Structure 1
Amino acid sequence: MSELIPTITGGAGGTVDTAGLRQVFGRFPSGVTAVCALDDDRVPVGLAASSFVAVSLDPPLVGLCVQHTSTTWPRLRDRARLGLSVLGDGQDRICRQLASKQGDRFAGLDLHRTADGAVLLGGASAWLDCSVESAVTAGDHDLVLLRVHRQCTHPGRGPLVFHESGFHALASLGAAS
């Protein structure tokens, strides 16, 4: 039998090389989401997250991962509702703006506030109105499950994709069989 894959490497004693693992993680494309709400002073607060996943239809749950070093997540996690906007192709500037550590993250953005305090971004591919269901510590992140209360899609708008440290748009290869 011939070797079909290259030799898999790791650190001494079975440890994993962090830089190599980051490179592997970068090979998996992900959608980019904005998670936003109004804080106690009714000021928008939010972050960009590319570690988003659909979890369950019944009950309706989605998940995302947030770094423990985030200074924004503590301001979001106790909100009654969170707006989750699946960013659309061409909205990479918005992602960079929300990920910035300085300046007004919401300057010039098309914001839509819900009655219960969620904030949704105009032009997104899809929107979810959610509440925090649970969170568990997972290494250097919190894995957060969000219960979906309402949803909406923007027909014809493809998602923004993050892959190998860059933003991309999807190209259709035809309908699935």
Structure 2
Amino acid sequence: MNTKASLALNDDRVIDPRQFRDILGHFPTGVVAVTAADNEGRPVGMAVGSFTSVSLDPPLVAFLPDKSSSTFPKIRAAKRFCANVLGSDQQDVCRSLSRKGNDKFTDVEWAPTPSGMPRILGSLAWIDCEIATVHDAGDHHIVVGRVDHLELDTPESPLIFFQGRYGGFATAKTHA
């Protein structure tokens, strides 16, 4: 048997976690800052690369926080969140929201959404949601949010995470 750490599935298959991570790292993801207000009205947030649209009717989105997150319980308690689509020039915001501690918003400019959730200024778009349901999914949760309000702030390049690095997206030029 392989002595490396492994992920056991419901049958005899065994997946090496490092290989799993390396291979899935070849799939680029957008970066979203999920924010909320804690029970004292202070902004809380986390950066995620697992954000997706779920349904058009009703409008639903989802993100997948790690169960070990110390921030997600605060977002869950708020019963609402704002998904902020970060731009390629917002790597500093991503780093701020990825660190541990309560001072994540020290250098992050924000304003309240109509529901009072923090929306990060300079983000490409923001999506204000109510938590509809939270599903168990291995070592993560699947959080489904019902969209109440959304806006596109700037049509710039999104922040993308690929193979352990951040970058932007450039559209291909068409030749006439």
Query: Normalising to structure 1: TM-score of the pair?
Result: 0.88
What is the SS of the residue equivalent to 1:108? coil
For 2:27, the equivalent position in structure 1 comes to 28
Aligned length: 166
Number of the residue aligned with 1:84: 83
> Aligned partners of 1:149 and 1:103: how far apart in 2?
27
Give 2:58's aligned residue: 59
Does the 8 Å contact 1:36/1:83 carry over to 2?
yes
CA distance in 2 between partners of 1:19 and 1:145 (Å): 28
Paired residue secondary structure (1:78): helix
- The answer to whether the 8 Å contact 1:34/1:84 transfers is yes
CA shift digits 1:140-172 (9 cap, x unpaired): 000111111111112331210011111010010
Shift of 1:78: 2.5
Q: Which of 19-28 and 75-84 deviates more?
A: 75-84
2:3 matched residue in structure 1: none
Supply the AA of the counterpart residue of 1:104: D
Equivalence for 2:158: 159
CA contact (8 A) 2:37 2:118 kept: yes
Tell me if the contact between 2:55 and 2:61 (Cα under 8 Å) persists in the aligned partners.
Answer: yes
CA contact (8 A) 2:157 2:170 kept: no
Runs of 4 or more consecutive aligned structure 1 residues displaced over 6 Å after TM superposition: none
What residue in structure 1 maps to residue 144 of structure 2? 145
Question: 1:103, CA displacement in angstroms?
Answer: 5.7
Q: CA deviation at 1:83?
A: 1.3
What's 1:7 paired with?
none
Task: Give deviations 1:10-55, integer Å, cap 9, x for gaps.
Answer: 9994211110000011111111111111111111111111111111
Q: Which 10-residue stretch deviates more, 131-140 or 151-160?
A: 151-160
Q: Structure 1: which amino acid aligns with 2:57?
A: D
1:119 and 1:140 mapped to 2: Cα distance?
27
Alignment-derived partner of residue 113 in structure 1: 112
Distance 1:44 1:11 in 2: 35
Per the alignment, residue 172 of structure 1 pairs with 171
**Aligned mates of 1:150, 1:57 — CA distance in 2:** 13
Structure 1 residues 150 and 16: CA distance shift in structure 2, 3 A? same
Gaps of 5+ in 2: 1-5
Where do 5+ consecutive residues of structure 1 fail to align?
1-9
SS at match of 1:67: coil
